[in-house]
């Protein structure tokens, strides 16, 4: 297929694979040599969003790039009445299982946006599995949803739109999916100019699948429900991320402009070894790949 050929060009040397987990079928690309490193994408992306940094990291690590359930070419199960199949716990369990089937019982990991939320839950549920973690341009949803501000609500409008009951957001997004994704990705004056056209075409291809739109919306519906319930219980019990961690964000994005990321994360993680920024908006690894690669490499080779 033409799309697969273009993806091979973007991720040269990576092998595409499908792994069946207890609740989904996860499509991924993996390549490189060395210690295992899991990289998880955000919304509305696929694993291709790592194409500017993954090949370089693969020189020193075995890099695993999955499509989260509901996204890309991974399966999109029914969410049910409580949307629990799209909880970050379900997504985290997928990836722990994927890594185990690839032969890795322990691994380092980074997540961007929704992928960082999956990683947050993974560190809470599987602290013995994740050895080092990087949370990229993400603040815990427990903090955000308990401290909703005008600036965050306006900037993150899609949270409140996509959480609406099916089929309203799905119908509206699928009426013009390419317009929606281009508009959503245009968070700064640069618009989508820093995205590789082949990667952007891949994101557009995937969002034109109505089932992908459903999966994305279920992700947000779970966030406001079962995910927040889990987070609240953990927060009240004083349960925090104990894995050695790094908080990395774009200084020009919503996190950098509107929040004190280091202070907020101090309430959710006990071993923050480094906080850092890159001169980007929200999409660090695609807008500032050199700086993002350097920060990730520095942290993951440090131990």
Task: Give catalytic residue positions.
Answer: 113, 282
Q: Tell me how far apart the terminal alpha carbons of the chain are, to the nearest angstrom.
A: 41
| Cα(44)–Cα(72) distance, integer angstroms | 9
- CB distance 245 to 135 below 8 Å: yes
- CB distance 57 to 32 below 8 Å: yes
Q: In sequence order, which residues have a C-beta less than 8 Å from that of residue 180 and are 6 or more positions away?
A: 173, 207
**Among positive and negative, which fits the CA dihedral 189, 193, 195, 201?**
positive
Q: Pull the structure tokens for residue 157.
A: 């409008």
| Cα(184)–Cα(191) distance, integer angstroms | 9
Instruction: Scan for tokens 């994360």, then name that residue.
Output: 265
Q: What are phi and psi of 74, to 5 degrees?
A: -70, 165
Q: In sequence order, which residues have a C-beta less than 8 Å from that of residue 256 and are 6 or more positions away?
A: 249, 250, 277
Q: Pull the structure tokens for residue 165.
A: 């009951």
Q: Pull the structure tokens for residue 30.
A: 């993996």
Instruction: Scan for tokens 């020193």, then name that residue.
Output: 60
Reduce the DSSP state of residue 207 to 3 states and report it: helix
**Among positive and negative, which fits the CA dihedral 35, 131, 29, 299?**
negative
Q: In sequence order, which residues have a C-beta less than 8 Å from that of residue 260 and are 6 or more positions away?
A: none
């Amino acid at each position: 297929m033409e799309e697969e050929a273009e993806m091979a060009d973007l991720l040269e040397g990576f092998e595409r694979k499908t792994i069946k987990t207890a609740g989904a079928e996860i499509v991924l690309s993996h390549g490189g040599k060395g210690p295992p490193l899991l990289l998880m994408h955000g919304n509305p992306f696929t694993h291709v969003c790592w194409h500017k940094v993954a090949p370089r990291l693969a020189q020193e690590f075995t890099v695993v790039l999955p499509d989260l359930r509901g996204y890309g070419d991974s399966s999109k199960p029914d969410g049910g009445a409580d949307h629990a199949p799209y909880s970050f716990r379900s997504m985290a369990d997928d990836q722990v299982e994927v890594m185990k089937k690839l032969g890795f019982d322990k691994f380092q990991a980074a997540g961007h946006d929704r992928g960082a939320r999956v990683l947050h839950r993974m560190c809470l549920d599987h602290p013995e599995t994740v050895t080092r973690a990087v949370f990229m341009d993400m603040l815990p949803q427990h903090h955000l949803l308990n401290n909703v501000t005008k600036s965050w609500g306006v900037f993150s409008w899609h949270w409140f739109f996509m959480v609406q009951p099916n089929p309203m957001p799905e119908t509206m997004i699928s009426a013009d999916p390419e317009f929606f994704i281009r508009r959503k990705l245009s968070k700064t004056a640069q618009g989508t100019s820093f995205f590789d056209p082949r990667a952007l075409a891949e994101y557009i291809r995937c969002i034109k699948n109505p089932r992908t739109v459903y999966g994305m919306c279920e992700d947000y519906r779970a966030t406001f429900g079962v995910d927040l319930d889990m987070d609240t219980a953990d927060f009240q019990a004083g349960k925090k991320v104990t894995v050695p961690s790094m908080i990395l964000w774009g200084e020009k994005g919503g996190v950098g402009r509107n929040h004190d990321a280091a202070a907020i994360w101090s309430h959710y993680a006990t071993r923050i070894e480094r906080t850092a920024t890159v001169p980007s908006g929200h999409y660090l690894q695609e807008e500032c790949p050199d700086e993002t690669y350097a920060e990730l490499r520095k942290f993951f080779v440090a131990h």
